[in-house]
């Protein structure tokens, strides 16, 4: 598990990252509980804080499992510490079984939220594992398997989440499909539909169904990507959808501001998740994945969790229509 490459210092850093970030932005009211230490004792070089390339060459069948990756992605299981910033909140997270979505689920639960988790049936082992972590935090976990490419399932997903959680005030549209192709001539209509329905249609369907249930003060967080700003040539359809998510986020924020609902986005750079080893990257690029960033490594999902907590919490009450980057220095918003 992630503890294999985390020492005590790193656990303190990542566990306190949400508190430190929010405290730095919002002042003493955001200070993290649960102990303190000198600032110097928690400093760590971001280049060496997590695994660096080269990684073992590896591929999995879609949709893949985080538990089978080497090294396993760190989603905060052994490091994230909460301090009640989302106490009593109710969240729906798509793609919450693994990767960035899983890190958000764990962080939300440890900040006091109940969480409904959307995922594909093939991802059941990872979903059951993260549900266990949520319940160990004393919060409710609702598992909702299905294919978000189906409009009827998206409607049912929201209604089931609202019923099981007793309402909804955080929505994270995170699930995505990515497949690397060298030429547009390889982009079949079937593959295009797969990407567009997973990344764009589902986000619209789920958000449309959720908005009537969201009260003033609720938050919507959409996962876009650095590729919306720096599209690589082999991710043509994926980059197109991520650019659309960025625009959708900004437009929807204006539409919902009058209802007191904030809408923001997170734009990750190269992050070590199952998305990469299930066709998201060519197999020969996996060993050096993330090496081209200024930090010379990919990000880990746990490093993004504090952003999702910040955007879900009332402490970011003046942020809407914004895209927050976590790209390892490689460009983006």
Digit-coded pLDDT (tens) for 211-247: 999 999 999 999 999 999 999 999 999 999 999 999 9
Digit-coded pLDDT (tens) for 76-110: 999 999 999 999 999 999 999 999 999 999 999 99
Lowest-confidence range among 36-40, 177-181, 224-228?
A: 36-40
* 162 token code pair: 């609202």
Higher pLDDT, 160 or 36: 160
Asked whether the beta carbons of 268 and 327 are under 8 A apart, the reply is yes
Whichever domain contains 102, its CATH number is 3.40.50.720
Terminal Cα distance for the chain, rounded = 32
Is residue 42 in a domain?
no
What is the number of structural domains in the chain?
A: 1
Is residue 331 in a domain?
no
> Running DSSP on this structure, what letter comes out for residue 283?
G
Digit-coded pLDDT (tens) for 109-142: 999 999 999 999 999 999 999 999 999 999 999 9
pLDDT at 330: 85
Residue 251 belongs to what domain range?
2-29+61-326
CA 261 vs CA 208, 217, 228: distances in Å? 13, 6, 24
pLDDT band (50, 70, 90) for residue 35: very low
The whole-number average pLDDT for the span 16-35 is 38
Cα gap 224→242, rounded to integer Å: 5
Is residue 52 in a domain?
no
Q: What does 307-322 look like in DSSP terms, one character per residue?
A: HHHHHHSGGGTT--S-
3-state SS class at 143: strand
Cα gap 227→238, rounded to integer Å: 8
Asked whether the beta carbons of 162 and 137 are under 8 A apart, the reply is no
Is residue 313 in a domain?
yes
3-state SS class at 216: coil
Higher pLDDT, 164 or 19: 164
Claim: this prediction has a pTM higher than 0.85: yes
Digit-coded pLDDT (tens) for 240-249: 999 999 999 9
Q: Which residues are catalytic?
A: 238
Whole-number average pLDDT of the chain? 90
Measure CA 124 to chain center: 18
pLDDT band (50, 70, 90) for residue 75: very high
Residues with Cβ within 8 Å of 213's Cβ and at least 6 positions away in sequence, in order, are 158, 162, 167, 168
Is residue 56 in a domain?
no
For 119, phi and psi rounded to 5 degrees? Answer: -165, 165
Is residue 293 in a domain?
yes
């Amino acid at each position: 598990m992630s503890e294999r490459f985390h020492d005590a210092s790193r656990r303190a850093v990542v566990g306190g990252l949400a508190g430190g970030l929010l405290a730095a932005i919002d002042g003493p009211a955001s200070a993290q509980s649960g102990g303190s230490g000198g600032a110097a004792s928690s400093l760590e070089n971001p280049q060496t804080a997590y695994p660096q390339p080269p990684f073992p060459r590896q591929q999995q069948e879609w949709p893949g499992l985080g538990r089978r990756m080497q090294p396993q992605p760190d989603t905060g299981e052994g490091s994230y510490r909460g301090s009640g910033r989302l106490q009593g909140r109710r969240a729906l997270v798509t793609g919450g079984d693994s990767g960035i979505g899983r890190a958000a689920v764990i962080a939300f639960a440890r900040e006091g939220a109940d969480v409904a988790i959307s995922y594909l049936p093939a991802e059941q082992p990872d979903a059951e594992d993260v549900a266990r972590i949520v319940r160990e935090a004393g919060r409710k976990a609702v598992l909702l398997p299905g294919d978000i490419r189906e409009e009827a399932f998206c409607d049912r997903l929201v209604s089931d989440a609202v019923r099981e959680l007793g309402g909804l005030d955080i929505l994270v549209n995170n699930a995505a499909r990515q497949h690397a192709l060298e030429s547009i001539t390889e982009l079949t209509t079937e593959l295009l539909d797969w990407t567009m329905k997973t990344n764009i249609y589902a986000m619209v369907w789920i958000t449309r169904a959720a908005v009537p249930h969201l009260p003033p003060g609720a938050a919507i967080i959409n996962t876009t990507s650095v590729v919306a700003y720096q599209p690589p040539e082999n991710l043509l359809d994926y980059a197109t959808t991520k650019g659309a998510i960025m625009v959708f986020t900004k437009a929807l924020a204006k539409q919902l501001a009058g209802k007191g609902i904030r809408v923001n986005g997170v734009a990750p750079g190269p992050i070590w998740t199952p998305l990469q080893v299930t066709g998201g990257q060519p197999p020969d690029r996996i060993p050096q994945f993330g090496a081209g960033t200024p930090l010379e490594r990919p990000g880990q999902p746990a490093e993004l969790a504090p952003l999702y907590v910040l955007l879900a919490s009332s402490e970011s009450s003046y942020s809407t229509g914004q895209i927050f980057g976590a790209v390892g220095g490689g460009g983006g918003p």
